[in-house]
Amino acid sequence: MRKLIMWNLVTLDGFFEGPKSWEIDWHEYVWGDELERFSIEQSRSIGALVFGRITYQGMASYWTSQKGDIADFMNSVPKIVFSRTLSKAEWSNTRLVKGNAKEEILRLKKEPGKDLFIFGSADLSSALTREGLIDEYRLCVTPVVLGAGTPLFKTSPDRLRLKLTEARPLKSGGVILRYETQKKV
């Protein structure tokens, strides 16, 4: 069975973007050879990327104009965007899903193949977390406190127990953390 893995950069105070949409200039604080190598290494286990509409639109806008190994990967990997408002998905190799995210993710997880990864997409990630569908959380904690922004994790009535499986410090001061989902408490 395929896993659904969430990958995000997050500030020390828990934000995945600043107060304005796509305010992610702080990614530069941790980006470098180590994080690039990790990203390329991680891409080898990705069967498809999962996005909500806002992240999908930002990623499509950015990656279609970039060059290099990561850009080649992002532009060619299968992508699934969940949206009730998009009428079409034009980024290469993207499938638009307007239906129930839970049902579609459950179906996709049963298919053979490499794992599913969700990038950004805090609202979708929170919904999938509440449904117990995210199997692993991979975060790069960035050594910055924004003080305001969009929190990565939304309010939830449940606690979620996680098991740390890796902590990889970076020379930049960031730390890559990998957690497996244990159970809701």
Sorted by where each begins, the domain ranges of the chain are 4-184
Given a cut of 80, whether residue 155 has pLDDT beyond it is: no
Per DSSP (E only), the strands in 34-119 are: 46-52, 79-82, 94-97, 115-119
Q: Binning pLDDT at 50, 70 and 90, where does residue 157 land?
A: confident
Higher-pLDDT residue of 165, 99: 165
Q: How confident is the model at residue 159 (pLDDT cuts 50, 70, 90)?
A: confident
Write out the two tokens for 42.
């991680």
Please state, in angstroms and rounded to a whole number, the distance separating the CA atoms of residues 132 and 120. 18
Beta strands (DSSP E) in the chain are 4-11, 15-17, 46-52, 79-82, 94-97, 115-119, 136-142, 150-151, 160-169, 175-184
The predicted model gives 55-76 an average pLDDT of 95
Q: Is 148 left (phi over 0), alpha (psi -120 to 50) or beta?
A: beta
What global pTM score does this model have? 0.94
CATH value of 4-184 in 3.40.1190.20, 3.10.420.10, 3.40.1160.10, 3.40.430.10:
3.40.430.10
**Residue 20 carries which DSSP code?**
S
Q: Residue 129's pLDDT is what? A: 93
pLDDT of residue 3 exceeding 70: yes
41-48 average pLDDT score: 96
Tokens for 58?
A: 């930002």
CB-based contact 14:151 (threshold 8 Å): yes
**Structure confidence at residue 185 as a pLDDT band (50, 70, 90):** low
Give the mean pLDDT of 73-98.
97
Helices (H), 98-155: 101-110, 122-130
